[in-house]
Amino acid sequence: MSDTTTVSLETEVPFDKLHEECGVFAIYGHPEAGNLSYLGLYALQHRGQESAGIASSDGKKIHSVRKMGHVADIFTPDVLNQLPGELAIGHTRYSTAGETTLANAQPLSVACSKGQVAVAHNGNLTNAIELRNDLERDGSIFQSTSDTEVILHLVARSHERTLPGALRDALLQIEGAFSLVFLAQNRVIVARDPHGFRPLAMGRLEMSDGKQATVFASETCAFDLLGATYIDDVLPGEMVIVGPEGVTREFYTRPGVTAHCAFEHVYFSRPDSVVFGKSVSESRERMGRLLAREHPVDADVVVPVPDSGVTAAIGYAAESGIPYRQALIRNHYVGRTFIEPSQEIRDFGVKLKLNPIRHLLEGKRVILVDDSIIRGTTSRKIVRMVRNAGAREVHLRISCPPTVSPCYYGVDTPSKEELIGARNTIDQIRDYVEADSLSYLPLEALQTAIRDDNQEFCYSCYTGKYPTLVQIGEVVLAKTGCC
Ligand code: AMP
């Protein structure tokens, strides 16, 4: 990858895959591979709630189920019975831009000269449009608007004779963020991009007969549910092949500058996961402690915005000595469909999800802790809610720096125009969210909190500096170094 002329990041983006968040899972060598994939996806549900799918292999044929909706609603016992075999992959997906159709649900599968292959992908390819245009010019017919389909076409067209060879071929042509799990008739193959943007953990599951299954997941919370042990991460630039011959680890390319996504630790991953080899809970608590040190305020209570602000608020309270109070209660059962009132009810959306406990807030000077401000609309409603419940002062503390630039590597961030941090000073944002004070965690403190001692994280949403070239339509954004 070479540097090119810098162009404005404000270009509007007709790119279907900018906003996609996903979880992936894979298992090899377990008689209940389909059922365990279901459990793995259940633990990864927070990574995507739009659609989910599992593909399994019985050694002869790949079976696949993909549906819109939540994991627990899709995979009933009858559906799981359609997924026989000892190896399987799974995917859970959420996308706010582009099409939300079943055609884009994963795993995607294809039958080609290398046999039947299914794939599930977490991340975004930054050169997908260019590759897709080339492939379409050469006669490939696409069935979805998903960048993941590009990978299958590259695999199918490869002149390599073996599937691992064709995968290597395809992986060398794609750029951007990808943690991929592939399923063939008798193999599971996984791979991670050379920068290691998105996580992919590898584990081992001991069975009662002494045999072992190999498992892979976006987050280790999936292993905990299965009783599997975390062994290692699939490394940036690495491909792991699991088949009858055992487990083979190899680098399909030289690893690039490591650029793990900092936002996984700030917000996206579950706090009970180990991500990039580090405990997310520890990172968040440290973010809260450092936030208290950097931006103290004389107040009566520390209140988290649940669930995203909880662990950082615990850290803030511990460091400041100010009591922690869960004064906002979250309804965990808010689904996609609810009956909206016909007449206007103010702040209906946020009230559906959160309700304040008045006696904990009344007359109090409140430090409200949340993980991030994206558009600012939610924060504004929550600050109002806390004030309406009687708080005397509301001081908003955010456990990461201002989000100033979109993510091109698989996190759902809106365009720069919609990011309140991109166009406003902190004072202006404070005015907008109607807080008495507003402070963010400085970048250096975030680096300390996630123990990024070797500069191995990507902070592009906070700096606007992207570690790879990013192609958006006809526009190529320069690689501007990793923060
Ligand atoms: P807002 O500022 O109104 O856009 O909402 C920000 C809140 O949304 C944050 O406090 C997060 O808890 C949550 N959030 C941040 N990033 C994301 C994301 N990529 N997907 C879903 N929710 C997010």
pLDDT, tens digit, 9 for 90 and up, residues 436-459: 999 999 999 999 999 999 999 999
The atom of ligand 1 lying closest to the CA of 381 is: 3
Domain 20-256 and domain 279-332+347-453, same fold? Reply is no
Distance, in Å, from the CA atom of 147 to the CA atom of 135, rounded to the nearest integer, reads: 12
Is ligand 1 within 6 A of the CB of residue 379?
yes
Domain 279-332+347-453 belongs to what topology? Rossmann fold (3.40.50)
Mutate to test the pocket of ligand 1, among 378, 400, 438 (most ligand atoms within 8 A of CB): 378
Q: How many CB atoms lie within 10 A of CB 284?
A: 27
Mutate to test the pocket of ligand 1, among 19, 265, 372 (most ligand atoms within 8 A of CB): 372
The answer to whether 350 and 382 are in contact (CB under 8 A) is yes
Q: Is the pLDDT of residue 103 over 50?
A: yes
Q: How large is the average pLDDT for residues 51-75?
A: 96
Query: Structure pTM?
Result: 0.93
pLDDT for res 470: 79
pLDDT, tens digit, 9 for 90 and up, residues 381-431: 999 999 999 999 999 999 999 999 999 999 988 889 999 999 999 999 999
pLDDT, tens digit, 9 for 90 and up, residues 106-123: 999 999 989 999 999 999
Q: Hey, whose CA ends up nearest to atom 20 of ligand 1?
A: 412
User: Where do the structural domains in the chain lie, given as residue ranges?
Assistant: 20-256, 279-332+347-453
H helix count then E strand count, the chain: 17, 25
The answer to whether 407 and 477 are in contact (CB under 8 A) is no
Average pLDDT across the chain, whole number? 91
pLDDT for res 340: 61
Distance, in Å, from the CA atom of 77 to the CA atom of 207, rounded to the nearest integer, reads: 22
The answer to whether 466 and 408 are in contact (CB under 8 A) is yes
Please tell me the least confidently modeled range out of 24-28, 381-385, 473-477. 473-477
Is ligand 1 within 6 A of the CB of residue 49?
no
Question: What is the pLDDT confidence band of residue 6, given thresholds at 50, 70 and 90?
Answer: very low
Q: Is the pLDDT of residue 337 over 70?
A: no
Is ligand 1 within 6 A of the CB of residue 373?
yes
- Residue partners of 425: CB distance under 8 A and separation at least 6: none
The atom of ligand 1 lying closest to the CA of 371 is: 10
% pLDDT > 70, the chain: 89
Strands (E) in 224-338, as ranges, are 229-233, 238-243, 246-251, 260-261, 274-275, 278-279, 301-304, 328-330
pLDDT for res 350: 87
Superfamily of domain 20-256: Aminohydrolase, N-terminal nucleophile (Ntn) domain (3.60.20.10)
The answer to whether 429 and 113 are in contact (CB under 8 A) is no
CA distances from 471 to 18, 148, 154 (A): 11, 16, 18
pLDDT for res 97: 45
Degrees, nearest 5: CA angle 54-57-58: 135
Strands 188-192 and 201-206: unpaired
Distance, in Å, from the CA atom of 266 to the CA atom of 237, rounded to the nearest integer, reads: 24
Q: Give residue 411 CA to ligand 1 midpoint distance, Å.
A: 11
Strands 274-275 and 278-279: antiparallel
The answer to whether 210 and 204 are in contact (CB under 8 A) is no
Please tell me the least confidently modeled range out of 172-181, 186-195, 344-353, 394-403. 344-353
Q: Give residue 416 CA to ligand 1 midpoint distance, Å.
A: 15
Query: How would DSSP label each residue in 423-482?
Result: HS-HHHHHHHHT-SEEEE--HHHHHHHTT-TT--EE-HHHH---SS-EEETTEEEPP---
Please tell me the least confidently modeled range out of 1-5, 39-43, 453-457. 1-5
- Is residue 458 flagged as an active site residue? no
Distance, in Å, from the CA atom of 162 to the CA atom of 18, rounded to the nearest integer, reads: 32
Mutate to test the pocket of ligand 1, among 267, 384, 385, 460 (most ligand atoms within 8 A of CB): 267
